[in-house]
Structure 1
């Protein structure tokens, strides 16, 4: 299966793309995400900021985790678990789309 399932898991081919409705900025090394429609904002730590940098263009989940495990020397399984949780949270807020149909 490609994409997300009922439990919210992502497979390696799931494509991640940021929603243009949100403005992304960095203050003191940490991202701030602003919803231009709703006026809400979200602060993201440095690791989350790196993930947002890596998904500035559509990217596959497997490629994203590969880049992060190389950069941070983290166990692949732990990386996938943590990044999956972060992306599902962002997806739930509408900040990213998790879609097998978006070209990466």
Structure 2
């Protein structure tokens, strides 16, 4: 998936298991244990990270961020998608574009 591709609202996002995270001075810092790579998240990215600890949809992530921050809906969607794409590129989250549906 390209970094600029729009994610469907029904896509399911979940954090991968191979990292440790902590908060230091209002910044979330992650250590990816497989690679030894550190990542620092700003406040919004840290909140996205918190939300995706349990499998959730893109729409749910966007709604959570929008409810907590004063941001335009379309801007929020773009920002959240950008954060999710960056997290996916770093193997911090999995994005399932076609989640199984209950029949």
Q: TM-score, normalised by structure 2?
A: 0.87
Q: Which runs of 5+ in 2 are unaligned?
A: none
Output the aligned Cα RMSD: 2.0
- Alpha-carbon distance in 2 for matches of 1:70, 1:6: 25
Provide the residue aligned with 1:57 in structure 2.
Answer: 54
- Alpha-carbon distance in 2 for matches of 1:44, 1:78: 19
Q: Is the 8 A contact 1:16 1:98 kept in 2?
A: yes
Q: TM-score, normalised by structure 1?
A: 0.86
State the aligned residue count: 100
Q: Deviations over 1:29-77 (max 9, x none)?
A: 2111111011110111111111111111111000110111111121110
User: 3-state DSSP class of the match of 2:59?
Assistant: helix
Q: Is the 8 A contact 1:58 1:102 kept in 2?
A: no
